[in-house]
Amino acid sequence: MSEFVMQRATRADLPAMKALYAHARKFMAEQGNPGQWGDSYPDEAQLTEDIDSGCAWLCREKGELLAAFYLAPGPDEDYAVIRDGSWLEEERPYWVVHRVASYGGRGAAAWCLDWCWQRCDNLRIDTHRDNLPMQRLLEKCGFGLRGVVSCRHGGERLAYQKLR
């Protein structure tokens, strides 16, 4: 059984987070998805903003960083307009999960999404059409595809939701 621990990220975690996201970008490119995060997303400024807002979270096991993500209450302007589908219970408050990254192989990303679900009964998340590993993870974790959204940082994304 895993002994994962969740903690809020601090600025002291920036170097480890930057390394994790570099690993994630490389993995995404190797899996046929070089465009979602390009060569630099999320950059240090974005990560610092996430940390300073208290919305950056880290998953560790025995002190080792395994995964990171952003969790914040909505509304999120990227999700204001959805096409080719609709949100469930659109008027209801929701939380957003963004920038999920993991080193893979230990189930940390799924554990992170479950951790969010235990705290938030209406979650929204998006991913690129070419990000097949994330699409499979979201479906495995009980998220349903709701439609397509346009993101501020570039392009269209498949929009998923999990609602209790």
pLDDT along the chain (164 residues), means of 10: 90 98 96 92 97 99 97 97 96 97 94 98 97 97 98 90 97
In 3D space, the residue among 6, 161, 162 whose CA is nearest the CA of residue 79 turns out to be 161
pTM over 0.75: yes
Domain that includes residue 119, residue range = 4-163
Ramachandran class of 54: left when φ > 0, alpha when ψ lies in -120 to 50, beta otherwise: left
Burial 15-39 (b: 16+ CB within 10 A, else e): eebeebbeebbeebeeeebeebbee
The CATH number of whichever domain residue 65 belongs to comes to 3.40.630.30
Report the pLDDT value the prediction gives residue 57, as an integer from 0 to 100.
Answer: 99
Query: What per-residue confidence (pLDDT) applies to 1?
Result: 53
Question: How many folded domains does the chain comprise?
Answer: 1
pLDDT of 8 reads 98
Give dist(CA 89, CA 91) in Å, integer. 6
